[in-house]
Every structure is written in C-alpha cells, then in structure tokens.
Amino acid sequence: MAWSRYQLGLAALMLLTGSINTLAAKWADNFSAPGCGGSEEHGFQHPFLQAVGMFLGEFSCLGVFYLLVWRDRRRPEPSTALAQPFNPLLFLPPALCDMTGTSIMYVALNMTSASSFQMLRGSVVIFTGLLSVAFLGRKLELSQWLGILVTVVGLVVVGLADLHSSHGQRHKLSDVITGTWGKGRAGK
C-alpha cells in the first residue's frame, strides 16, 4: 500500500511536533530559579504541571471544533449530519487513563534524557500489538512481529545505555530501576 502525500505529510508533522513536545518539556526541566528572599536555586521539576499544560492545549482544539461545527450549521446545506445523542461522560475513563499515563511519562522524562525517554515511549508499539492479539483476536503478520522484535531490541539497548550512562542528573531513571535513588553516588 503506497502512502499518499497527505499521509506522508501527516506522519512528518506528527514526528516533528512530537519531538518538539519532548524537547520543550526537557528544556523546561533544565530551568532553575532562585527562591524567595535570595534562597538557594530550585530546579523546575513539575511534571504534573507540564501534563496539565499539554492537556489544556489539547482541550483548546475543542473550541476550534465547535467553531467549525457552528460555521457549518450556518450554511444553507450543512455537510455534517447530526449524530445520535450520547453521554459525553463516556470519554471520562479513557481521558483519566490518558492523563495518568501522560503524567507518569513526564515524571520519567524528568528522570532520564530526552533521547532515552523518546525511545522508551516506543514501547506502545509492543503493547498495542500484543493487546490486539490478546483482546481483539487479531493475527499479526510476520512484518508486524518483526517490528515488535526490533522495538524490543531497541528498548533493551537504550535501557542498558541509560543504566551505564553518567548524565550527571539528579534523578536518573536507572537509579529508580536499580533502587539506588536517594543513596550516595560516591560508589559509582
């Protein structure tokens, strides 16, 4: 199946904006400012605030959607048909799961490098494939299983590199994994 120019453009745009999102969040994590009254500097480590900011940005898309619907309904022949009424609270459970997952991801970004974070985010491919087999009864093709295998190998390589790196950050993801978080780092 050949991709159209529109699909290639969307894929490139998603890659670009996803990278900008990660780099901007990591850039914000590296800021520090002096405390009140000239006290010691504090780093910006507010992953939950970052997640809320991202969701407010996504929520603003709802205003654009309603503006487009309003404009369409003012036409003599609207192009959008009214759907059946539904309960908007239907979206609450997946929205809460997404908010929780995004908050945890920003906590992880606070503890590791942006490159490791971006690579570890790729594990969604593994879970999506395996859960679609388990719960939807789908049969994955050989190329899809190979994609999952390559992703697993990539994650193992990145995880091992993060375990052995010395970024000099306050809290590394490897410290959390190995249980050495908060202990003296003189023995390393």
- Give pLDDT tens digits for 118-137: 877 878 889 899 999 999 99
What are the tens digits of pLDDT across the range 28-47? 888 887 878 777 887 777 88
Q: What is the DSSP letter of 4?
A: P
Q: What is the pLDDT of residue 166?
A: 59
pLDDT band at residue 177, thresholds of 50, 70 and 90?
low
CB atoms closer than 10 angstroms to residue 159: 17
Q: Is pLDDT of 172 > 60?
A: no
Q: What is the pLDDT of residue 185?
A: 45
pLDDT band at residue 180, thresholds of 50, 70 and 90?
low
79 or 133, which is more confident: 133
Q: Cβ contacts of residue 175 below 8 Å, gap of 6+?
A: 111, 181, 182
Q: How confident is the model over 153-178, as a mean pLDDT?
A: 66
